[in-house]
Amino acid sequence: MKFVSLFASALAVTALVSGCGIVKKSGVTASDSNSTVKTTPVISNISSYDEAQIAPLLGSWAVTAINGQKVVINGDNHPQITFEAIPDAKTAIMVIAFNGCNYLNGSWIVQGSKLEPNGEFLSSLKACNDAPYEAAMTKAINDVKSYSVVDANTVVLNSSTGNTVMTLRKRNLSFLNGAWQVTTIQGTPVPANTAIKVVIDIDECKIHGNAGCNILNGAIVVKLDKGDGIEFKDLATTRMTCPAIATEQAFILALEQVDTCVEGASSDQAIMKGANGQPLLTLIRISPDQVGEE
């Protein structure tokens, strides 16, 4: 038996929710008023199992349904789960769940599609008034006994009877981090004499750049109820006028209507779509030093 302090190990991997609903890795200390440090045994004598068993689960996931009920909120209190490998324990995974209010820390041993709890889950002790899924998710995570892969971005967690207790969707917008140039607006090419260049930071939930005439700043909301959901809001620009102002206005109007974003032919191309699935903007990746904001 090897003892691992789940909260101590979480110094490197504990997921904290930022202002836009993204799970970010940060530290939890023993003095955290909402945490209790305990030790839980993790079985490490499992080297005969295939380490690839844990691969489909690793990463951060948004919880999109609990016991068949769709999770309909986005933002700081959206339930999420992060699965991390545990060093020297080939098929044991650390489970760091956020139920909309508190963090639940524990571990599972993966044997094929079976998930064997390795001790009890520990919880922070925060009180919240705006966490409608807190109780349901806490119960559901303790009922998990197996998982099934639906597709590359979706996994379901099942109870001992085979019923789905949680549906998880992997967030897949990290490719958007970086600098981009807009090439088309609602199917119309951006004129050659107009350069719309922006920097997108998914982790910090910010967009800034040159909208074609004016400097643009705004906020990003990652819509966790869908894997590729994104919203741009609180957009603000400087107030200069120039020959490209009509193109700029068309760009900002389209940006405000964006509902999802997917990769194009490669991770260096992006297609932003409206709620009806129609492309609104296409972009190509550029070097950050090509973004002029003067």
Q: How is domain 2-170 classified at the CATH fold level?
A: Lipocalin (2.40.128)
pLDDT digits (tens, 9 = 90+) for 59-80: 889 999 999 999 987 677 889 9
Q: What share of the chain is helix, strand, coil (3-state, %, to 5)?
A: 15, 45, 45
Domain coordinates in residue numbering, the chain: 2-170, 174-290
| 15, 24 contact by CB (below 8 A) | yes
More confident residue, 80 or 53: 80
More confident residue, 14 or 142: 142
pLDDT digits (tens, 9 = 90+) for 4-29: 333 334 433 333 333 354 333 333 33
Q: What is the pLDDT of residue 10?
A: 40
| 1, 24 contact by CB (below 8 A) | no
Q: Cβ contacts of residue 26 below 8 Å, gap of 6+? A: 14, 15, 16
pLDDT at 227 exceeding the cut of 70: no
More confident residue, 57 or 32: 57
Could you tell me the pLDDT band of residue 90, with boundaries at 50, 70 and 90? confident
More confident residue, 167 or 227: 167
Please compute the mean of the pLDDT values over residues 173-179 and round it to a whole number: 92
pTM of the shown model: 0.63
Amino acid at 291: V
Q: Check the CA dihedral 103-109-111-115 and report its sign.
A: negative
Class of domain 174-290: mainly beta
Closest C-alpha among 139, 109, 110, 146 to residue 123: 139
